Each structure stands twice: as C-alpha cells, then as structure tokens.
Structure 1
Amino acid sequence: MLTHLTTCTQAARRFLRSSSMTRAAALVLTLLTGFTGLVYQVTWQKYLATLLGSHSEATAAVLGIFLGGLSVGYSLFGVVTSRLVARAEASGSAPRLLLAYGIIEAVIGCYALLFPWLFRAAQSASFVLPHTNAGVGFFIDVCLAALLIGPPAVMMGATIPLLTQALSRSLEDATRFHAFVYGLNTVGAFAGALAASFVVIPKLGLDGALVAMGTINLFAGFIYGLLGMRDDAQQTAAPALPDAEPDAEVDIGGSWMYLAVALLVGFAMMTLETTLIRIGALAFGSSHFTFSMVVAAFVLCIAVGGLSVSSLTRIPKMYLAVNLWALVALLVGLYFLLPQANYWVFVLRTAFMNLDVAFYLYYGAGFALLLAVIGLPVLLSGVTLPLIFHHLREEYGELGSLAGRLYSWNTVGSLLGALIGGYALFFWFDLHHIYRFAVAAIMLAAVLITVRLFNWRASAVAGVLPLFIGLALLPPWYSMMMQIGLFRMEDPPPDLYTGYKTFVERQITPSEDTLVSYEDDPTATVSVRILKSPTGGESISIVVNGKVDGNTAGDFVTMGFLSVLPALMADSIERAFIIGLGTGVSVGELAALDDSKEVIVSEISPGVIRADEFFAPYNLHALSRPGVSVVRSDAYRSLTRSTEKFNVIVAEPSNPWVTGVEMLYSREFLQLAHDRLAEGGVYAQWIHTYETSEETVALVLRTYGSVFKHISVWEAGPMDLIILGFKDKGPAIDYHRMIERSKRPDFKAALERMGITSTAALLAKEFLPVGTWHAADFEGPIHTLYRPILSDIAGRAFFRRAQARVPYTGFGKAAEVGAHNSLLRQYIDFRGKRFTDEDRLAAIAQACTQSRGYCIPLLAKWISESPNSEAIALARASALNWFRAVKPEERHPKRLIDAMSVLYSREAAAATPQTPETASRLTQAYADFYYHAAPFSEDALLAVWSQCREITKPIEVCRAEWANRPNAAFDDLAGTAEAQKRFLTECMAETFAGPKCKDGSREAKKLLTGYSSKFN
C-alpha cells in the first residue's frame, strides 16, 4: 500500500513539473479553496449564532471577525512572502512559497475537521465564564468567537500574497496572473455561496459540511505540497525592482491614495451588498435563499471583473479612473431602479407555477434578473483592485507584500462596511440614505484616483462638489412600495403587467391603506399600516421585511389565545417569557391576568419596539403595564443567559422559512426552553398551516416530541395552530382546573375578547390531545442547530404556496389515546345529559371558525345520536357556511354530512349498501375530518366497505342459474315463462363486490393502521 502511494506521488510530481502545469493546477486549486472559504463563512455563521445569537450585533460581529482575520492575513502573509523571498535570494535558492502555502491549506483543513469539538469547548467555556451583565457577556462571547474563526480567517488571507508572488513569471506577467488568482478564487466563492445554502448544509448539516470542506483543503494542501517540493525547483518569483531592498517592506507612503481607494471601494461595496440583501428580502422574502442569491451575484460579478483584467494586454493609465467614474454613474442610475424591485420580482414570480420543479427555475431566473440589474456595476468594482495592483506593481517589486498590503486595506474597508454601513448607520438612517453613503464613498475614491493619476488641482477637485450635493438631494424611495410584500400575493392584481408606473398609480396610490410608520433598523425593515375594511372598519398591521407579522383584526384571536391558553393550563402564571413583541396582544393579554407578576419580552428589532405606540389601544397598553419589561435581544441568547425559571414561555415567530426563526424550532432551543420552565410550566408556539407543507408541520412536531414528552396541539384561528409543550403531564389533562380558571373574571374577559363564550367552545379548539402525537410514533428526521433542515423544507413549501394538514392520527394507539385524553370528550362525558343542545351548538360554532372543519364530525355525531333534534338545523347552517368558505368545490355538503353520520354506527353502516364512489368518499372524510373529541368508529368504516357493491350479474349467468335451479324439471310449464322473467329481472338487479370494492377495502384497513396511499 505504501509503495503504491509513493508511486502515485512520484507520478503526480512528474506531471506537475512544467511551469504551465504548475500554474494551471494552482489556479484550479484556488477555485476549490475559494469554494470552501464561502462554505466555511456560512457554516461558521450558523454555528456562532448559537453562541452569540442571531441578532444584528451578532451577525455584524461574526462578519467583522471574518473580514478582520482576512485583513490581518493579507498583511501578515504579504510580509511573510517578502521574508521568504529575501531569505531564498540570500541563500541562492528558489523560495518554496507553494510548499508554505500547501502547509497553510492543510492546517485550514485540519482546523475545519476539529472545529465542531473546538466550538463545543468554547460553548462550555462561555457557560463557565462569569457574565456580570449583558454587555460583558456579549463581549466575552465575541472574544470566544474571534478565537474560533480568527485563526482560519487569517490563514485564508495567504492565498493572494503567496500565489501572486510564487507563480508570477515577471513584473509584466504579475498583473495578469494576479487577476487570475483573484478572479478564480472569487468564482469558487460564488459557487460556495450558492452551494452552502441550497445543497451542502441542508444535505450534510454543519458538522458534515466542515468535514467535506476540510477534506478539500487537505487535498489542496497535499497538491500544493507536491508543487512546492519539486526536485528541479522550477518555482520562480517575480524579481524586485533594481533599487528595492530585497528584505525591506514595501513603503506605501507615496501611494496612500491607491490604498485609500481600495479601502473606500471595500467599504462601499460591502455597504451596497448589505443594502441589496435587505432589498432582496423585501422583494423575494427574507429567506436564506435570498441571502445566498445576492451574495453569490456579488461574488460572481467581482470574479468576472477580476478575470476581465487578466485578458487585457495593455492597461492605459486612464482605465482605473474611468472605471470608478463609470461605477458612480451606474450606481446613481441604479438608485432609481431599486425601489421597483418588489414589482419586477413579483412579475417574474407570476411566470412560474407553484410546483417543486419550478423552484430552481424561479430562483435561477431571479438570479439572472439580479445579474441584469447589478451585474455591471459590481463587475466594475471587481476590476478595481487588479487595476490598482497594476499601478502599484510598477512602483514596487515585492509582489507578495504589495498584494497583501493592498488587499488588507480593501478588507479593512469591507470590515468597516459590515460594521458601519451594514449595522451602525441603520440606527439613524434608512436604506436609501445608506445606499447614497456608499455611492459617495465610490465618488470620493474616483476623485482621489483622478487626482493621483492626473494631478488635479484643488480648483478642479472643488468642481465635483455639486455631484456630492446632487447625491444628497436625490428623492427618497417610495416607502409604501418598498414594504408592500408582493412576494406573498397569490394572484396577480389588476394592472400588474401595465408597467411599474401605471401599477403604482392604479393600485398603490389610490389604496385606502395608510402607512403610518416606516423605518429600516439594523435588523429589519419595519412598517405599520392602517387597513380599511369594506365595511368601514380599521385594523393595524405590523409589517417586518414585507411580511405582515400581526394584525389587530385578523390575528387578534390567535395572538391573544397564544398567551391565554398556556396561562389556563400552567400551575402558575407569575413569571412569563414571551419571544417576539409583534402587535403586543400576547403580552397585554398575559400581563392583564390577575396572577401575572412579571412578563419579560425578548424582541430583536428596535423598530418593532418603537412601533408599539400604534398598537397600545389594541394590546391593553401592554408595555406600560406593571411587571412588563422588554429585552432587545435574540431569544436564544436571552434564554441561554437566564438562570431564572418561567411558568409560561410563549413563542410568536410562526414562519420557519424566515431567516433566523428556524433556530426557535430546533431541538437545542426547545431543550433550553424546557429547562427554563418551572414545574407545571407550559411552552406555547404559534405555527401556520398556510404557506407550508405537511412535511414541515410533521418535522416541527417530531422535533417538539423529541424534547417535550407531553405535547398537545390546539387551533387558534383559521390556518393557525398552537403547539403546547408541558413540563409535566398533569396540567395537560386537568380540564377541571382549566374550566374553573376560565370562569374567573380576568380569564373570562380575555376569552370573551377572543369570541370564546362557553366551556364547550373553548375545549372544541383542542385538536391533538396530549399523548396523541407520541402514541402515533411517527418516524423521521428532527431539526437541530447542527443539522438545520427546517428552513430549507419550509422555504420550498413557501414557494409552492402549500397548505398543510397535521399528519393523520386516527389510527391504533394514537386514536385510543386521543379519545381518552380529549378534554372536550371528557367534558361531554362528565356533563352527560347536562351537555345540552346549546353546548353542542357552541362547540360546533367555534369549530366552524377553524379551517380544518372539525365542526363537521361534531355535527355528524349529533345527527347519528339525535337525528330529530330541532337544533341540528342551526348547527347545519354553520357547517354549510364552513363548506362555502373553505371547501366551495364540495357540490353536496349537506348530503356528505348526513352520510358521515353512519361512521358513528356500525349497525347503520352495515344496513346501507354503498357504491365504491360513496364508500371512498366516506373513507376520505374519515381521514380528513377525524377529530379526537368525536372519533369515528373503525368498525363503522369497515362495515361501509362490507356493503360495497359494484357489479351486476350478466344475463348469461342468470340464465344458467335459472336452468340449474333446484326441481327445475318439475316446474309448472304454464307459469314458467312468467317466473323466469321475474327471476332474471331480480337476478340481474343484484350487485356484489368487485375489484374497486376490494381495493378500497384494503386501503381503508391500511388507513386504520396508520397510512393509506390513497386516502391520506
């Protein structure tokens, strides 16, 4: 084995001996290491979100550490390169720069393989180190993050200095080859940006992604090592200029303008990238797909810009200045186009059907649209650094040190762009202001380079001041259009295809909706809209990144019930923790309860907190109530650092496709929440069943079930669910205490505000009783921080505009446990004859307000038990209204409801012949409407199929039966003809089970054991 490996190594070395092959191999490897670099950045960001949180400060800190490390690396390895070259020249040998670089790549690969263990050690250290206050704690964790990703980021800064010096054949060749290294490394980064979010992390998880990328770096290090250890030492380094001291660092004193331009361009482009990511979130939706697409577009265009320089045979002095002034002109023109992004992206979206196969086509088309809009200006920014390098290398011969210093300054600019342009400025300015700051930085860079190259005088420089003034006087972007969130609309509105201006004039400007607040804070774009209803009423919506996060009319019941329901069931409600402020309704309802002593609200967005003034009349003045406090922080970090116990924890963020929200659905976060619950405590989570899939809901429930041993699911509003996780089982089944509390004045007033006026109506909202989910024992993956699959699955379901059902649990042990633990069923049994028709009507009316229509089985059961009740007509009217609103395609709803009554009586089902079509319809209803408070009878469903008839006897068979009847020879011939006619008529009218009945019966039996491909 060792001999074989040695032979392969020697063959590889022989293949790589030629200078051309060496350069080609190095460039291919540069592309691969660029790929791994971006995957590392995305992966580390997700790791460190669990240490620092996912709020804007944490994101800025991680990006700052990464860019700061790169900057240090560029500068450090520029010096190292100069020293290696000087030492080699002193000894009369070729510098083994590729060997050094191979060692660095191998170290990066080893570090990646060890990172999961290093990260867990840092987490443990974070818990051990004292966090005297939030600021000190965050500083400590930032230092730990710097220790984690700082070293590899510094090492990544070796690529350009070492390879430029090692493989440039001459000073004349340096510009071209440097552009190749820069361009191909960036092309790899482009591929990594897309692959990380769309493929690598969803398929491999965080640990698996690091193993894969670390292996690539080890391979690259091995090949670079072979290149660096060639026997004939053919490596060449570009010579220093004759008058340069070989062991001296490059003196940049005379060319500070070039480096200042590099810094300004770095600042401007990072600021623009942040701005465009925010605009992309408003146009495409705030998912990780949008983030990756914008980053990839930037990286690709920068790469193309760098590679374009390598194709130039001659570079006139004016190119750099012309390039920067052209960039300014394009960015100013783009300023007027970007506010239209919402419109044009939605026009594009209407061209694609809501199907899985269209997902990549849509994002591919979106990427192409993005390139068409920002491609040329970003490409010109990518041209800038190679052009600056070209001008500087004519003055300085130490290419490695020169490249290191240049890229160090540029990366410092990017660091400042991330921290200042991408974070700090948002405390005072909106997107359009920050965009103009970036353009001003490019304009200043253009002025500096023009002065440097053409020796402009002060008077000439003063002549460009009107340009800066004109930039400052540009009109602001149209806020209403920026935040309108067209990406969530199902159908194209009228006038969509008439052009942006006409669409705005006809659809947006005349709208009666009023935008009363708009701001771009460091975390999100937050706005408040007053909506007018057709009846003249008003409601207020909080809109975050173009998505309505709560409305005082449509979401009031859900948001109020989200906090009141766990309060009804928890042992105590003295201390509560609420994740997300939203409209403040959940906070206000919980804080208004008599026994509530303290409510802590964790809200990540300062804009949402400031918007509360508009919602105070609707949320009982939540933030002004005693005991209510707001912590502006990421919920994961807030709970991690808290040592207190809470009786109730409520999580409002309900869309797991939104970047950052998926952390709240992870096993690690749920375990954290579980550990922070006091004995008898309850955790409540709001989740939608619209714009999502059954796969998403099942994944969420499996993850909850892996942490909470007792969970139940309740319906809050149309298409809204509340998942309850219990510290102990007792509160989940103690409906007596729940009923007693619901009659207290404070709870009664809260429930009445939500339209719940009776015990039956309250209990009818329970959908999956405690124990049902665990009894069903659904197998499948769970969502963890280190295998984050939820955002990918949820994002694809959002694209399809899917509507989810909670997985069917009307079988086996799950059906048994569900029926036993159903609070409404227990209440009905407890009440017995005291459960009146009025109670039934209240329960049915409440259930008919939900999208799943569990009023239908309640009514069908009532019809089965008391078909002559006069109150049934009122209940049927509610049920028919539900069908008209939710299932208008059902042509005969009354007939279906009446037919479903046989699913509660085996005798009734056995006495009614069924066609295969009717039996199938009833079986589908069994699956669609199974409700643990009014469970269907398995025996009744089997009896339905036992009465399935589909085939009549052919006349030939009947004639044969007539001929073979007993005593045929002794019949009275006179009456035989009439008797035969009667016999054949009756015989041919008989039906019996055929293939459809038999297949349907088999599928029904499968449904009763867990899964049917036909009826689930």
Structure 2
Amino acid sequence: MTAPTTLSRSRFRFLCALLFCTGMTSLVFQIIWLRGFGIILGSTIYSMSSVITVFMLGLALGSFLMSQLLKRGRWLAAHPLAAYGSVELLVGLSALLVTWTLFTHQGFYLSLSGSPTAPLLKLLATQFTVCAALIAVPTTLMGMTLPLVSQLVTDRRQVSALYGINTIGGATGSIVASFVLIYYLGCVRAGAVAAALNGLIFCAAVLTSRYFPPVPAGAEETDDGAPAATLAAENRLLGRPLLLTLAVFSGFIALSCEITWTRFLSLAFGNRVYVTSIALALILLFMGQAARMSSALLRGPNPLWRILLYSCAFTLISFSAAFLLERPALQASHPGIVVLFILVMVVFPATALGLLFPLTLAARPAGVDNPASWVGLVYGFNTLASLVGSLASGYVLINLIGSNGLIAFNSALLVLSLLGLVYAFRQHFKPSDHALAAVAGLGFLAVILPRSTEVPPVVDATSAVVSSEDAHGIFSVVRMDAGRLRVLNNRTDLVYLYGDPTTQYVQESQAYLPILYAPQLERVLNIGSGYGITAGAFSRVAEVRAIEAVEIVPALVEHANLFSPGNHRYFDNPRIQVHVTDGRHFLATTPERYDIISINVSDPYLPGSSSLFSREFYEMARSRLKPGGVLAQHIFGPDIASLYHGIHEVFPHVKAIPAYGNGLTLIASAEPLRPHQREVFLRQYDEGRALFGPIGLDNGLAGFEELIALGDEKLQELASRAPEFRNSDDMPTLEFRRLPGKVGLFYSNN
C-alpha cells in the first residue's frame, strides 16, 4: 500500500478551525430556531421534535446529495475547499433569512400552523410541513460541508478528527448562543452574528483554496501495522453493508440515549434554559472528544473490532453503575454522588458511544474509489438513523417504557452488538476480552433489566401519591404534612402546595378579580389550569357561560381528581372544555374572542412560560379580548417591577391584589376598569361571602375590596420604579435572566 496522503499539521489545523466554526454556527441557528418555532407552533414536545426532525433530515439529505455530486461534479472535485466555503456562505444567508422571518412574520406562520386541538397526526403533519418549508434549505446545505472537506484528506484518522472538531464546535455554539448571543443581542442579531461567521468561513476558504489541492485519485491508507490474520478477518466482516449498518446503529442509539441523557441532566441540575444548553454542550463535547480520540486509537495496536467491543462493553458497565446510583443521586443526598451519577450515566457512555460513528466513518471497505463520496454516504445514513432514533424514542418509546426503559432498550441493542463481535472474532479473543464482555453482560442482566420498569426516583416512593413518566417529563405528586400535596414535573414545582390556604386564595382570586371587573361574562379562557382551582372558581359563578381551560402538562389533567374538592371538580362541569396543548399557540390560532383571559403560570423564568410575558403575547391577548375585556395574570419575583411595566405598556389600565406574600395578581384592560359585576356579587352571592368565605375572607366583597386597595398602593410603588428590561420574543430577557443566588442560572423556583 502507498503512504497515507495526510495534510501538514498547519493545514490540518486550519481545516479543523473551519469545521469548528461550521459546527458552532449550526448549533447557534438550531437553538434560535427552536425558540422561534416554539412561538409559532407551540412550546410542546411535539413541535420541538418537529424542528429537530427536519433539522436532522436536512443534514442527511445534504450528505446524501453531496455524496452523489462528488462522483459527477468536476468543479467540486477540483475545488473542494472553495466549494465548501460557497456552501457555508449560502448556509449563512439562508439561515439568517429564516431567522429574520421567524420573528417578524409570526402572524403569517401562525395562520399556517393549524389548530393545536386538531388530531395529533394531522397536527404533526402540519408542523412538519411548516418546519420543512422554512429550514429545509439551510439544513440541507449544512449537511454538505463534512463530505466536501473530507475530500481533502484520505487518512481515516484525520477524517474522524475533523468530525470530532465539528461536533465540539457544536457544543461551543450551544453555550455561546445561550450565555452570550441571545442574552446580549436577541435572536435576530444573534443569527446575524452566526451568518457573519459563515461569511468569514467563505472568505477564508476561497482565499486559501489554492493551498488545498484535492487528493489524487487512488490514494490509499496504510494498514497501521495490524497483524495480517486480524486484518483479513476484519476485512471479511467490515464490508460495505456492515459498515452502513454500523452507521445506522450508532446514529440511532446515540440520539435515543441523548433524549434520556438530557432528561437526567435536567433532573440533576435544574429547570432553566441554561441547563438545556449545558446538557447539549456536554453531550456534544464528549462525543466530539471521542471522535478525536478515535484517531489516536486507530494508531494503536488494537484492531477496529476490538475498539468497537470496548465501546459497547464500557457503555453497558457505565449504565449498570448509573442505575445503582440513580436513587441517591436524583434525590440529591450528596453532591458528590450527583456528579458521579452524571459521569457514569452521561459522560462515560457519551464518550464510549461517541467512538462508534467516527470509527465507522474512518473505515474504508474494498471497492471505494472516492473516499469523500463514501464519507457523505456514511454520514447520511448515520444522520438519517439519528432522525429515526429521535422520533422513535421521543414520540413512542419514552411514553411506553420511560427513561429507564429506554436506557435498557438501548443496552439490549448494545448486548446484541457485543454478541455479534464475540461470535465474529472469537478466534482472536484474549482472556481480557472475554472478561470484559462477561462483566458487561452480567451488568445488563443483573442491574439494567430489573430497573428498566422503574420510573426514575425523583421523589421518595414512600411519600409519592403519583409517579409517572411520559414525553413531557416525570410527573410526581408527593404527600406533605397537614394533608397538603406537592406537584412536580421533573424537579420543578408546577404550583404551590395543594391544600395550603394561600394556594386556594390565590388560585380562586384569579377568577373572582377579573369577573368583578369584566363588563360581560359570556366566555372565559384559563391558560395554565394548574390544579384546576381557577377553572373551578370560574364555574362557581353561574353568570359565566363558557370556560375553556388550557393545560400543557397532560398529567395535571389526568390526575385532576386528586385535587378535589379544591378544584370544584371542574373536569366534570359541562360548561368547561379542557384542552391539553400550549396556551399561547391556542390563543393565537383560536377564532374566539373572550371576556376574560386568565393566565395561571407559576414561573415566568422557565422556557415556554416566559413567552407568556412578552410584549407580543400581550398585544395578541389584547386583540383576542372583547371590548372592555380583562386580562388576569400573577407576577412575582425579583423582576416584578419590570413585569408590571411590560403589561402596563400594552394595557393602560391595571389593578391588583396581593398574592402569596411576594407577588400580585394583576388584572388589566385596554379600557378603564370598573367593578361592573359588583351588584351581581352582592345580590347573587350573599354580598360575596358565598364565594370569598371559603378562601378566608369572611366579610365577603368588602374584604376583597380592601385587598384591591392594598394592591393599588403596591401598583403605585411599582409604577415609580423604572423597568430594568423589556421582554419580547426577539429579546427573551426573562428566559435568559441571570437570577440572583448561587444556583440562579440553574433553578428558578427551587
């Protein structure tokens, strides 16, 4: 064989720098698009999955397309670096156009997004079509870059390293997008910065293309000094069909595991948007580092099959150790255990599994005339399998078998791969290989399988009333003292304790306060049903004709009977219609107009929830109210003054009552607020005592009006304070707010 056609160190580092920037800009755009599509399609697991699906499908199509073009395009073959730069320029221009239109033409895309209450398959088809129409072009272009650059090298170790650097660039982009670009510049300007970097890549590639001639046809690699018998056996096994099968396997299992890894990281570290970015960055970082490690492993004495064996075995052993640590780690008994759990559940497996695809990418079956075309084909199959893994796991498997079951499912796939390697290379096995495979198999049978049916123990099982899991998270209801219940999704408290008098007072007041000031009581919308207390309180007023309750967490609706009689069994009331979907998307697409819109969202800093506090949302809500209609919303926290000013800028007339001791329940209207229903409260409800007595106001409406007077005083104080920021869809300051405290970047209400 001839010597490998390797690049000089300086030129290879230059290519690495370009691929690093390519990965970084791609992830910046992906994070921006996830937020933009969350607004026009709804901040649900299904809309987010549609975005990721189209993103990965575009990468796969671009890779497949380039693998074919490289076989036929003479200019591409002669000028690969210039072609790569041109593709990057087109990526930047098309992605910036998508970003700009997402945040400036929301009304148009909302008209195409379909009804959130449509049948699931129809809704998914609509969301997929909208996503594909917008981001198919830039993502397809993104998928073309790695095959083009790989045309400059034939050394399989350098190809794997380039892929690893590209992935590490993606990890960096995840951090940079959340911690710097969106936080300081907003979404559209963050996209402009990413597009500018694409432009710089174009300039650098075109200006230096003459120093990177294409690899001569027929250039081959060395055999790395491996024993002849081992190479012969490896070549028989690792033919073209099997390598493509390995590419599919590694893509499916990596994305399937990524879904559970992201959940476990959020369980361990917090509920803020920064946690999601850090989780994605960690996964990509260690998978990218594994790709870089693969080039060093290929220089060593171990054949490819043994490295694959070690990868599968160490992943199984890590998962076994993680399951043993799961309970104390998720219940946070000691910070060191949490760190160790993340190491064995995420870091070690991500590194081990991260070796699989780069090793497959580096392999060259007999009969491959164009290595770059082969890279495009393998990369395309891997990405397409990643898409399937994401869809199957995120839509189906996690609902059927949960996070632990999904880890067990992927572990079973690894066991099958392990058995295949053991059988194929049994003649070349060393005692250490047998021992490692045996330990991995024992861990699967003794630890992983028995734990596969358990819901990750976020709460103590002895106090759990409900512990269930679906695509939206781990839903837990925990029995507290004095008969109170605590409700969590993952580790986030959804509402304050059920059964606490303050909870009943605040949640019911969010119905009675807007009822008092609304001119008409024909139709009410309650976004964020919580325990259902607010919807139930609306139903206690006979004059309210129709109530629509929208809740994004399905388990809260499914277990609503646990919160009776506090919610007045709202789910059995014929005047109440319950929708399980994103509240903002529902309001944006419904043809109805309302007398009252009551927004019962517990935390303005969470992803998804923060979009219910933006200027664009308030303007939309104002357009959905009937003349004189009233908006109600609870505000609290260190930014309460800025939250008040955000509402007041759109609704000039605001009143309030104290809530929870650290917040206010506001009502707002475009027209002056007058107690239109005061006589109804006095006449129909025993001067208000029939409504207000159960929430601790024995003197009825008189006591409630005293609270309103206190609220007026508080509003005067808030009005005197200048807002620190203005929250908008393009500038989502609330979601990316640096909250005070040691863990303010990680937790908001914990």
Normalization by structure 2: what TM-score? 0.86
Matched, 1:281 2:280: no
Query: Is the radius of gyration larger for structure 1 or structure 2?
Result: 1
Matched, 1:635 2:583: yes
Matched, 1:613 2:561: yes
Aligned to 2:457: 482
Farther-moved stretch of structure 1 (676-685 vs 324-333) = 324-333
**Counterpart code for 2:562:** F
Matched, 1:681 2:629: yes
Any idea what SS the aligned residue of 2:537 has? helix
Aligned to 1:14: none
Is contact 1:113-1:211 (8 Å) kept?
Answer: yes
- 1:386–1:478 CA distance, 2 compared to 1 (3 A): closer
- Return the alpha-carbon distance in structure 1 between the equivalents of residues 556 and 206 of structure 2: 54
Q: How far has the Cα of 1:595 moved from its partner?
A: 0.9
Is contact 1:297-1:371 (8 Å) kept?
Answer: no
Q: How far has the Cα of 1:179 moved from its partner?
A: 1.6
Any idea what SS the aligned residue of 1:518 has? strand
Matched, 1:195 2:215: no
- 1:471–1:717 CA distance, 2 compared to 1 (3 A): closer
What is the CA deviation profile of residues 494-553 of structure 1, one whole-angstrom value per residue up to 9, with x for unaligned ones? xxxxxxxxxxxxxx57xxx731211112112212222232xxxx1233222223323322
Aligned to 2:3: none
**Counterpart code for 2:657:** W
- Return the alpha-carbon distance in structure 2 between the equivalents of residues 280 and 607 of structure 1: 22
Is contact 2:246-2:357 (8 Å) kept?
Answer: no
- 1:471–1:345 CA distance, 2 compared to 1 (3 A): closer
Q: How far has the Cα of 1:325 moved from its partner?
A: 2.2
Is contact 1:238-1:399 (8 Å) kept?
Answer: no
Is contact 1:667-1:707 (8 Å) kept?
Answer: yes
Alignment match of 1:153 (pick from 136, 139, 162): 139
Q: How far has the Cα of 1:584 moved from its partner?
A: 1.0
Aligned to 2:592: 644
What is the CA deviation profile of residues 50-70 of structure 1, one whole-angstrom value per residue up to 9, with x for unaligned ones? 111111110111111111111
Q: How far has the Cα of 1:214 moved from its partner?
A: 0.3
Any idea what SS the aligned residue of 1:750 has? helix
1:611-1010 map, 5 Å? 611-689=559-637, 693=638, 696-729=639-672, 732=673, 734-735=674-675, 737-738=677-678, 741-742=681-682, 744-745=684-685, 747-758=688-699, 759-766=701-708, 767-769=710-712, 772=716, 776=720, 778-793=722-737, 795-796=739-740, 799=743
Aligned to 1:106: 89
Aligned to 1:118: 101
**Counterpart code for 2:570:** A
- 1:668–1:368 CA distance, 2 compared to 1 (3 A): farther
Q: How far has the Cα of 1:578 moved from its partner?
A: 1.0
- Return the alpha-carbon distance in structure 2 between the equivalents of residues 606 and 418 of structure 1: 21
Aligned to 1:565: 513
Q: How far has the Cα of 1:737 moved from its partner?
A: 4.4
- Return the alpha-carbon distance in structure 2 between the equivalents of residues 803 and 104 of structure 1: 40
Alignment match of 1:518 (pick from 467, 486, 506): 467
CA-based RMSD of the aligned residues comes to 3.4
Aligned to 1:953: none
What is the CA deviation profile of residues 683-719 of structure 1, one whole-angstrom value per residue up to 9, with x for unaligned ones? 1112333xxx2xx222212221222111223213333
**Counterpart code for 1:59:** M
What is the identity percentage for the equivalent residue pairs of Structure 1 and Structure 2? 24
Aligned to 1:77: 66
Any idea what SS the aligned residue of 2:629 has? strand
Number of equivalent positions: 707
- Structure 2: gaps of 5 or more residues: 1-6, 222-236, 429-433
- 1:483–1:573 CA distance, 2 compared to 1 (3 A): farther
Is contact 1:578-1:649 (8 Å) kept?
Answer: yes
Is contact 1:70-1:155 (8 Å) kept?
Answer: yes
Is contact 1:204-1:787 (8 Å) kept?
Answer: yes
Matched, 1:417 2:389: yes
**Counterpart code for 2:294:** V
- 1:128–1:330 CA distance, 2 compared to 1 (3 A): closer
Any idea what SS the aligned residue of 1:787 has? coil
Aligned to 1:552: 498
Q: How far has the Cα of 1:111 moved from its partner?
A: 1.7
Is contact 1:279-1:341 (8 Å) kept?
Answer: no
Aligned to 2:232: none
Any idea what SS the aligned residue of 1:556 has? helix
Any idea what SS the aligned residue of 1:60 has? helix
Alignment match of 1:473 (pick from 449, 473, 476): 449
- Return the alpha-carbon distance in structure 2 between the equivalents of residues 739 and 613 of structure 1: 33
Q: How far has the Cα of 1:216 moved from its partner?
A: 0.2
Q: How far has the Cα of 1:150 moved from its partner?
A: 1.6
- Return the alpha-carbon distance in structure 1 between the equivalents of residues 366 and 294 of structure 2: 16
- Return the alpha-carbon distance in structure 1 between the equivalents of residues 618 and 65 of structure 2: 43
**Counterpart code for 2:14:** A
Any idea what SS the aligned residue of 1:126 has? helix
- Return the alpha-carbon distance in structure 2 between the equivalents of residues 121 and 775 of structure 1: 30
What is the CA deviation profile of residues 425-445 of structure 1, one whole-angstrom value per residue up to 9, with x for unaligned ones? 233232211221222233334
- Return the alpha-carbon distance in structure 2 between the equivalents of residues 367 and 69 of structure 1: 36
Q: How far has the Cα of 1:338 moved from its partner?
A: 3.2
Any idea what SS the aligned residue of 1:723 has? strand
Is contact 1:578-1:651 (8 Å) kept?
Answer: yes
**Counterpart code for 2:712:** P
Aligned to 1:207: 188
- Return the alpha-carbon distance in structure 2 between the equivalents of residues 658 and 54 of structure 1: 11
Normalization by structure 1: what TM-score? 0.65
1:177-576 map, 5 Å? 177-228=158-209, 230=210, 234-237=213-216, 239=218, 255-312=240-297, 313-314=299-300, 315-317=302-304, 318-344=306-332, 347=335, 370-371=342-343, 374-393=346-365, 396-450=368-422, 473-475=449-451, 482-484=457-459, 514-533=463-482, 538-550=483-495, 551-554=497-500, 555-576=503-524
1:39-118 map, 5 Å? 39-84=28-73, 87=74, 95-118=78-101
Any idea what SS the aligned residue of 1:602 has? strand
- Return the alpha-carbon distance in structure 1 between the equivalents of residues 114 and 355 of structure 2: 46
**Counterpart code for 2:484:** S
**Counterpart code for 2:658:** E
- 1:344–1:515 CA distance, 2 compared to 1 (3 A): closer
- 1:745–1:121 CA distance, 2 compared to 1 (3 A): closer
What is the CA deviation profile of residues 311-353 of structure 1, one whole-angstrom value per residue up to 9, with x for unaligned ones? 242451322222222222222222222333334486379xxxx
Any idea what SS the aligned residue of 1:529 has? strand
What is the CA deviation profile of residues 918-966 of structure 1, one whole-angstrom value per residue up to 9, with x for unaligned ones? xxxxxxxxxxxxxxxxxxxxxxxxxxxxxxxxxxxxxxxxxxxxxxxxx
What is the CA deviation profile of residues 473-503 of structure 1, one whole-angstrom value per residue up to 9, with x for unaligned ones? 3135875x8333xxxxxxxxxxxxxxxxxxx
- Structure 1: gaps of 5 or more residues: 1-17, 243-251, 350-365, 485-507, 805-1016
- Return the alpha-carbon distance in structure 2 between the equivalents of residues 72 and 137 of structure 1: 24
